[in-house]
A and B are shown apart, each in its own frame.
Chain A
């Protein structure tokens, strides 16, 4: 599982509040990803990182920002949470042999 942890695992927050989700990996993998998963949509890429301080947008990046100040940590921030951001969020890293490993997920509910 590439030593990926996500925190928090569950969070309930109110509309308009900022939220930060953390992904931590212990394998020193260069690439890291944030996905969201919603019923009927499968997994969709939000942002990804290809190194410290190097990030890029995915297909559903609006309303989200990311930061990567250390190889092992990739943070996803919802600046002002909305109900449409209620979802399960998965972090992933890529091994040297190209397979992706996913974290256990964070279930976020925005009320």
Chain B
């Protein structure tokens, strides 16, 4: 799986958009970009994933650059409950148990301030 690089920490004001960047310059054509978050002491939570098109769901939007070497997770109206560590993960698609294994890096600690 391709390696990802994220800033260790970011701050955001409550109610504003939080934009979390991720670099994955070695991504290959069959690798997806996944975002998870972990709120203190809880299990990681799936947020969104994409291959090459921008994606949006009820939690967030995912913007992937045209060359797919970087992406941005956008939380449109951050709340205090969005304070968490956010992980950007790149993994290959396909069947088989080992292909679903997620490799978590250190992620970005997003702190939403009142």
Residues on A lying within 8 angstroms of B by beta carbon are 4, 31, 33, 42-43, 45, 48-50, 54, 56, 58, 90, 92, 94, 98-105
Contacts and interface: CB of A to CB of B under 8 A. Distances in A.
B108 to A, nearest CB: 13
21 contacts: A33-B100, A33-B101, A42-B105, A43-B104, A45-B101, A48-B98, A48-B101, A49-B97, A50-B97, A90-B43, A92-B43, A92-B102, A98-B32, A98-B100, A100-B44, A100-B46, A100-B100, A101-B46, A102-B45, A105-B41, A105-B42
Q: Lowest 10 CB-CB distances: which A-B pairs, in order? A: A102-B43, A50-B97, A43-B104, A99-B46, A42-B104, A94-B100, A102-B44, A48-B97, A90-B43, A105-B43
Interface residues of B, number: 21
Nearest to B107: A42
Contact of A56 (B49, B98, B102): B98
Contacts of A49: 97
Contacts of A31: 97, 100
Mostly, the A contact residues are strand
Nearest to A104: B43
Mostly, the B contact residues are loop
Nearest to A51: B97
B96 interface: yes
Interface string B19-59: 00000000000001010100001111110010000000000
A54 B98 CA distance: 12
Interface string B71-114: 00000000000000000000001001110111011110000000
A90 to B, nearest CB: 5
